[in-house]
Structure 1
């Protein structure tokens, strides 16, 4: 009898992999690594008595041969880790390892096995990302590939017995996919609305984003335009957010945020790149002292730059500070201007006008960011003049500007100008999580759970603001980050950054 378990899941997926990946033991390890911390290269877990247990190919063989159940600790890993983070691993690592022509075979095979598995009741909730029961699955013919594969994997790891119906599991050979060749046209895939980005020009920001920030959850908005809505956490220092790691990341990027690409190239040509952060900090301090740079939101603007470059892969065109460098020749309401290019079936590009807000109250911060986006929408022609001006041209080395001109001013090529989109960074104070009487791991798990709820509980509020401020139809790229105390932390972090002297990390 057909039976869904982690063994049968791994064998079905392996049968649909590209030839170089079609080996049960290593592909089992590749899939199981989705449960480990980002960047892990070997699968391991912490046992109940505190020991670190690392799996070998012998262990993986026992899993996909249905001769061993997963330990409770591994099953808990699947339940505790955010499903969207596991999904992103599947998007980045597992799906690219699948044969394009066999992706539908994998979905059809898993669907068939689940429907024929008598141990799964019709009312069983299979989905963690999506709301999907076995009964729903009977008539389901449209799938988001990454969501379905992730949901079924989490269910298989956390909820099934891997040792029953072992004969069926072991009967799944590498040609198992062929049984579904003729059924491939009965289902179709659709994709979530985040574009597949590829930077048209080099990014400017430096450092490894995932050493400072942890992706916690993402949500889909009920708007037709391309969009991305994600929430992140800073790495932890026991019970505290690791603000020192954030400070180092900001310090290493502040020069690339403040100065234009042409100015940075001059620093490199003069072999003075080590002075970039020092000079940028001095510039901001003087601008604040001279009243030329409004104070209070510098951290939000700097983090907007980092998130749009390092999460959305949308390179900076001009930062808030760069725009202000030009002596008031033009004025801007934007926290920064970026360029997004995407490798869709029909490639497109967007000029992203940025807003940023850090406020202790999450909904107040969201509302303020959207109110600023409305101002940008109302004067978008003025904002876009920055990327069509001589000032803009002078901010780039000639080679890069030539690339940009073909995208932003495509008159000679007959193309269309990039559409306007909006990018937002929203910082707020984390509330409702007590550390009293808890071990570190339990407290951190509680923080992640609260953060997941923060984004989930505000999706409808965000959608109401999109409608209220007349932003329907525009692409929205929104990134949220909690602080221990947003109002105090944004001041303390910038005070430390501006007094740091710009030393190297």
Structure 2
């Protein structure tokens, strides 16, 4: 769209190369391709200028790169590198310009499939006014690179000058754009968890998933104690929050009214031990469920509606597969409310953890109506002070005039064993740096696997909030930490 209509504009466009890098392997800094004879060909500014002036097509090898590379991987690149480089005020102009260029191209039949990610045809595009920005840019880019003849409309191509976007200034209000991002959430009701999250956990890296729904994918690390994770700090944070995890807001208010809030953690620990002994909750995943609660409240800012333990407090009247239910109220481009169904898993192998958690999420999807019965029941109403329940009722059970019910989303806590980092012969600083570098690689390397599980388990289109945390030895640590927390013998050294 900034092609060379006059010699002064006929110059190398570094942004064009930046876009073409989406076809290359990660971390490549100069666009190149493998020719038919196996040699690596670097694409120069001269080549790009010939494309801009419509005097040649891209090489067949480059067209094949666009066809064979995973479209979601290209979209991830657009999300991380291209969209942030675009001026906010010109994003809609760019979409409108691309839309107009396609619709005016008489060589493109109305039935032509334009999208690789979406099922958009040219005919669909005529009346389309809402776009997921990353999807539309990616689909248009792949189509332009792989399926068009750049030389057939040279005059039209040369008419696209650098101020082409300005034509659409008066039309920007006719379309809506959505971007794949973590929603900015607002706690409609008070959060229950206590303490400073950043004194215990450090955010290490976040990645984008190529799905159109809002999401968050982050990896965290516990604070260090020299060559070890600071499990004592984690234990204190869990101890401070266990009462707020176990009990409903109505029960907590009763503790406060009776001036017995100091007994909350003590009673909560005794209550969990009794439930385990009576078989009301299965022992083994208590740590994961408690950490899910903390991450959904303190990272996602989604207040707890009911915890796994609270489900077991009602004598089997209801059964639940969820590790907890939370409410997300998001101040996004289009504000929304979501009931977040939680699943948690701690296991030594990271891919096993991911697979198991997504399998659980699939079960929740199939029985989401049953899970949501909790938030529409009299038991749920009794769990909240009257004023808070009135707030919730207007969101969860709106009348016909005030809006629709909140959508279902899924929250996941994934704990795994850190592998591949040795402390031998290293200083404390070097070892800790190596751990953090490994964690960044861990989450980056799992993006495509996570996306494959989204597809496999039919979770496309749902919002997903996924938080990863490494342990020195996940299977041993989860037992030792919970044993110390529940004062049941053993525990951390």
TM-score (norm 2): 0.66
Structure 2 residue corresponding to 1:231, chosen from 186, 199, 219: 219
Note the C-alpha offset of 1:189.
9.2
- Taking a change above 3 Å as real, the CA distance of residues 297 and 190 of structure 1, as seen in their structure-2 partners, is same
Indicate conservation of the 8 Å contact 2:248/2:306, yes or no.
yes
| CA deviation map 1:281-313 (0-9, x unaligned) | 010111111222100000000000000000001
Structure 2 residue corresponding to 1:356, chosen from 344, 353, 375: 344
Note the C-alpha offset of 1:193.
1.9
1:450 is paired with a residue of what secondary structure?
helix
1:457 is paired with a residue of what secondary structure?
helix
- Structure 2 residue aligned with 1:450: 438
Structure 1 segments, 4+ long, off by >2 Å, are: 115-118, 122-127, 129-149, 182-192
2:387 is paired with a residue of what secondary structure?
helix
Indicate conservation of the 8 Å contact 2:340/2:408, yes or no.
yes
Structure 1 residue corresponding to 2:266, chosen from 278, 289, 305: 278
Once residues 185 and 381 of structure 2 are traced to their aligned partners in structure 1, the CA distance between those partners, rounded to angstroms, is 24
Deviation larger for 484-493 or 130-139: 130-139
Matches within 5 A, 1:382-397: 382-397=370-385
Matches within 5 A, 1:37-436: 147-148=84-85, 191-411=179-399, 413-436=401-424
Once residues 347 and 397 of structure 1 are traced to their aligned partners in structure 2, the CA distance between those partners, rounded to angstroms, is 26
- Taking a change above 3 Å as real, the CA distance of residues 350 and 141 of structure 1, as seen in their structure-2 partners, is closer
Once residues 81 and 331 of structure 2 are traced to their aligned partners in structure 1, the CA distance between those partners, rounded to angstroms, is 18
| CA deviation map 1:86-125 (0-9, x unaligned) | xxxxxxxxxxxxxxxxxxxxxxxxxxxxx9999x9x7899
Once residues 278 and 343 of structure 2 are traced to their aligned partners in structure 1, the CA distance between those partners, rounded to angstroms, is 24
2:439 is paired with a residue of what secondary structure?
helix
Indicate conservation of the 8 Å contact 2:215/2:465, yes or no.
yes
- Taking a change above 3 Å as real, the CA distance of residues 490 and 184 of structure 1, as seen in their structure-2 partners, is farther
1:376 is paired with a residue of what secondary structure?
helix
Q: For structure 2, which runs of at least 5 residues remain unmatched after alignment?
A: 1-10, 32-43, 53-76, 87-162
Note the C-alpha offset of 1:413.
4.0
Once residues 204 and 288 of structure 1 are traced to their aligned partners in structure 2, the CA distance between those partners, rounded to angstroms, is 24
Deviation larger for 282-291 or 492-501: 492-501
- Taking a change above 3 Å as real, the CA distance of residues 264 and 434 of structure 1, as seen in their structure-2 partners, is same
Once residues 189 and 133 of structure 1 are traced to their aligned partners in structure 2, the CA distance between those partners, rounded to angstroms, is 30
Once residues 281 and 328 of structure 1 are traced to their aligned partners in structure 2, the CA distance between those partners, rounded to angstroms, is 21
- Structure 1 residue aligned with 2:464: 476
- Taking a change above 3 Å as real, the CA distance of residues 440 and 419 of structure 1, as seen in their structure-2 partners, is same
Deviation larger for 410-419 or 280-289: 410-419
RMSD: 3.5
| CA deviation map 1:216-263 (0-9, x unaligned) | 111111111111111000000000000000000000000000000000
- Structure 1 residue aligned with 2:484: 496
- Structure 2 residue aligned with 1:24: none
1:221 is paired with a residue of what secondary structure?
coil
- Taking a change above 3 Å as real, the CA distance of residues 225 and 141 of structure 1, as seen in their structure-2 partners, is closer
- Structure 1 residue aligned with 2:448: 460
1:458 is paired with a residue of what secondary structure?
helix
| CA deviation map 1:394-430 (0-9, x unaligned) | 0000000000000000025431000001000000000
Indicate conservation of the 8 Å contact 1:427/1:482, yes or no.
yes
1:417 is paired with a residue of what secondary structure?
coil
Note the C-alpha offset of 1:192.
3.7
1:337 is paired with a residue of what secondary structure?
strand
Indicate conservation of the 8 Å contact 1:362/1:428, yes or no.
yes
- Taking a change above 3 Å as real, the CA distance of residues 116 and 473 of structure 1, as seen in their structure-2 partners, is closer
Indicate conservation of the 8 Å contact 1:144/1:189, yes or no.
no
Q: For structure 1, which runs of at least 5 residues remain unmatched after alignment?
A: 1-114, 150-179
Once residues 497 and 447 of structure 1 are traced to their aligned partners in structure 2, the CA distance between those partners, rounded to angstroms, is 26
| CA deviation map 1:117-137 (0-9, x unaligned) | 99x9x789999x998779999
Note the C-alpha offset of 1:204.
0.4
Once residues 270 and 247 of structure 2 are traced to their aligned partners in structure 1, the CA distance between those partners, rounded to angstroms, is 12
Number of residue pairs matched by the alignment: 354
Indicate conservation of the 8 Å contact 1:142/1:189, yes or no.
no
Indicate conservation of the 8 Å contact 1:143/1:190, yes or no.
no
Once residues 13 and 449 of structure 2 are traced to their aligned partners in structure 1, the CA distance between those partners, rounded to angstroms, is 40
- Taking a change above 3 Å as real, the CA distance of residues 117 and 330 of structure 1, as seen in their structure-2 partners, is closer
TM-score (norm 1): 0.64
Indicate conservation of the 8 Å contact 1:201/1:315, yes or no.
yes
1:232 is paired with a residue of what secondary structure?
strand
- Taking a change above 3 Å as real, the CA distance of residues 366 and 265 of structure 1, as seen in their structure-2 partners, is same
Indicate conservation of the 8 Å contact 2:179/2:212, yes or no.
no
Indicate conservation of the 8 Å contact 1:422/1:476, yes or no.
yes
